[in-house]
Amino acid sequence: MPQYWGGPYRFRTFLRSNLPWFIINTGIVDKGIDCEAKGGKHEWYNQDNINSACYHCSVEKEGKLWKK
């Protein structure tokens, strides 16, 4: 899979942010499994003020990784 914008799942994130919700809900552009397993890097966001989640894949980790 090509590396769009610096990571393996960045293009899917681009599509999720630009397609209508009814297309996204079909599951065509779901998040990837793990950025690091495909040679990319995670970009973290605050999931619930305790855990961090990656914008591009389904990895979630405990801690405030979005602050780093």
pTM for the whole structure: 0.77
Report d(CA 50, CA 46) in Å as an integer: 8
> Is 23 within the bounds of a domain?
yes
Predicted local distance difference test score (pLDDT) of residue 57: 93
Predicted local distance difference test score (pLDDT) of residue 56: 92
> Is 49 within the bounds of a domain?
yes
Q: What is the pLDDT of residues 45-56, one digit of tens each?
A: 999 999 999 999
> Is 61 within the bounds of a domain?
yes
> Is 1 within the bounds of a domain?
no
> Is 31 within the bounds of a domain?
yes
Predicted local distance difference test score (pLDDT) of residue 2: 42
Domain that holds residue 15: 10-67
What is the number of structural domains in the chain?
A: 1
Predicted local distance difference test score (pLDDT) of residue 68: 76
SS3 content of the chain, % helix, strand, coil (to 5): 30, 20, 50
Q: What is the pLDDT of residues 1-44, one digit of tens each?
A: 444 566 788 888 888 888 898 888 888 888 999 999 998 899 99
> Is 5 within the bounds of a domain?
no
